[in-house]
Chain A
Amino acid sequence: MTTKTDTPSFGYVLSVIAGDKPGIVAGLSEGILRLGGNIESCSQAVLSGFFTLMMTLRFSTDFEPDALAAELLKENGVEGCRIFCSRTSSLPVRPVPESSIFMLTAFGKDRPGVVRVLSRALADKGVNITELYCEKDGKDGFTLIGQVEVDPKDDPRTLLLDLEDIASEYGFTVKLQHKNIFVATNQLRKP
């Protein structure tokens, strides 16, 4: 990450996709530094051979989003990527209450529509998905892991029962557990 400037005032969200190859992150970060920007958060993954990246950036210069994307595409290693850019000010954000974060896990035989039924059921109940990972595994199985926000006033048992009904219909297994059980069992520091 670059050194944070004293008067940053223009925020952007960047999304990049490409066929995976070495040097994409290096090229992007060099371009951001050249333009006087700072990377505030970043998430990158290679999914089935495709490079995907999201970043939030802050600049002291007011760039048009498309112009910023075009500038970054000039960097070595970034050519051939598809870059989508938006101002953060045009995208409302809301805080995530830590105490209500649950992990949703689902696994079973893969079929079209699994993500749709789960995400629709969650959306209909006002449950927000804050992270989502899913992958085909083996010949025909799938694994889905999602981090979701459950309103502290809601009983997670009721939500799980609804999700289990869907899972039963579609032939997969679903679990909903508070995040802290995963922190407690995997990290040295206690939740």
Chain B
Amino acid sequence: MLRTDEVLSTIRMLHAEHLDVRAVTLALNLNDCAGSNPDQLVKKVHNKILRYAGRLVEICDTVGAKYGIPVTNKRIAISPASNLLAGHGVPCALELAKCLDLAAKECRVDLVGGFTALVQKGISAGDRVLLDALPDVLSQTERVCASVNAASRKAGINMDALRALGEIIPAVAQADAANRGFAAAKLVVFANIPEDNPFMAGAYMGAGEPEVTVNIGVSGPGVVDSALKRRIASAREQGKKLTLTDLAEEIKLSSFRVTRVGELIGREVAETLGIPFGIVDLSLAPTPTVGDSIGEILKTLGLARIGAPGSTAAIAMLNDAVKKGGLFASSSVGGLSGAFIPVSEDAALADAVEQKHLVLEKLEAMTSVCSVGLDMILIPGDTPPATIAAIIADEMAIGVINNKTTAARLVPVPGAKAGDKVNFGGLFGHSPVLEVRNVGVSEEFVQFGGRIPAPLQSLGN
């Protein structure tokens, strides 16, 4: 029998603390659509997506209503598009992207991910076509998201790929200059990309996954922050001493509950669609909404300024506790599963950048212990390509050496300088442009190219 306090705490979590199912992502393998005829290729892709994902939104809405929890985003992730592009050219890549865009629109999903190339060890013919097409694809489509895996624990860091991306990322932004380079927000570069990530822009269906599956991304920074605030207030009221150990325990409990919500929704959506359930990604994904912020959690943990000494330790504790709580809640945890710190998508982080409390270098340090990386970082539009490549290389190194996923989603805003404010709207939020220091002095390092070898697997200190 449910207790009254249990019912009320769930109600509070769902309705007052911004808990939602952030993304239900249907992952679909499109490799069987490959062919030498571009028209047939895109027709097969369109038909297959409609066949599997045509009812996704309707079912998500029905299941969400049944449990009284909104499924905020419904999305599609495909197997790497580069697999379909070998032997084709940029025009075919653009046609494929437009087909994905149309199919996503017809399925009423907001984004489709998997315009992806896996180049950690080298760039294949299909990868090259995809990379060359990115400026056109991301500026001429609305819903298509792209990702590039440029490094891995086993392969090292492909500096040739990063050198190319140093040119491609500003080109993508420039191609969408009318929207202040927003197209670059749909491109993310990874080290150790997860095969089952439901979150955009990095969602794609990796090797070893089934033909089709449903992956879930839950959110809940607001739930964690509220739980911490209640615990702290209660201890103060009772005159009890509270330690960070106690607060980590509170985060675990919240993460447990959030994960359970995601798995319940995900399994029912998958069952109704008649396809296997994949994973719950229990990442704390903030939104620009006040009260739904990782930055606010850091403040609750006692850091008056985000970016102050202690910020990295606080993020580390948060990230670890989230994983522990989630893993106890479900045996199907996957994806990124940790705390995101996307600057423009988190109002408190964006504010810390504006106050100059949070700088690029500190963000990089924090990404060494969070679940993703330099996410939604707006940089000056005139940042040299080699500097962009080098920023990404630093981020890749953190992932490769520490055997974790890291990523970089940088938006060089055309014409913007450090401190300029940019508003992308919606979930993408707003942020000042961050200052990039020491620009233009990484050229020689980047121009060497080649591959930074895979790291040692032992002597891990």
- In the docked arrangement, what's the CA distance between A103 and B264, Å? 16
Pair B7/A182 contact, Cβ less than 8 Å: yes
Interface check B10, CB cutoff 8 A:
yes
Contact with B along A120-159 (1 / 0, CB 8 A): 0000000000010100000000010101000000001100
Interface check A177, CB cutoff 8 A:
yes
Interface residues on chain B, number (Cβ under 8 Å): 23
Pair B67/A180 contact, Cβ less than 8 Å: yes
Pair B68/A183 contact, Cβ less than 8 Å: no
**Cβ contacts under 8 Å, B8 to chain A:** 105, 143, 145
Interface check A9, CB cutoff 8 A:
no
Chain A contact surface mostly: mixed
Q: How many CB-defined contacts (below 8 Å) exist between A and B?
A: 65
- In the docked arrangement, what's the CA distance between A158 and B152, Å? 50
Contact with B along A171-186 (1 / 0, CB 8 A): 0000111111111111
Question: Could you say which of B118-126, B255-263, B392-400 contacts chain A?
Answer: B255-263
Pair B2/A181 contact, Cβ less than 8 Å: no
Tell me the chain B residues, 36-59 only, with Cβ under 8 Å from chain A.
Answer: none
Interface check B15, CB cutoff 8 A:
yes
Chain B contact surface mostly: helix
Interface residues on chain A, number (Cβ under 8 Å): 24
Pair B264/A186 contact, Cβ less than 8 Å: no
Interface check B6, CB cutoff 8 A:
yes
**Cβ contacts under 8 Å, B13 to chain A:** 185
- In the docked arrangement, what's the CA distance between A183 and B261, Å? 10
Interface check A190, CB cutoff 8 A:
yes
Pair B66/A156 contact, Cβ less than 8 Å: yes
Interface check B290, CB cutoff 8 A:
no
Interface check A191, CB cutoff 8 A:
yes
Q: Choose one: A133, A177, A178; the contact of B4 (CB below 8 Å).
A: A133
Known contacts A133-B4, A190-B260, A191-B264; decide if A185 and B67 are in contact (CB<8 Å): no
Pair B11/A105 contact, Cβ less than 8 Å: yes
Pair B4/A185 contact, Cβ less than 8 Å: no
Most chain B CB within 10 A, of A131, A156, A160, is at A156
Q: Which 3 pairs across A and B sit closest by C-beta, in order of nearness?
A: A177-B68, A186-B6, A184-B260
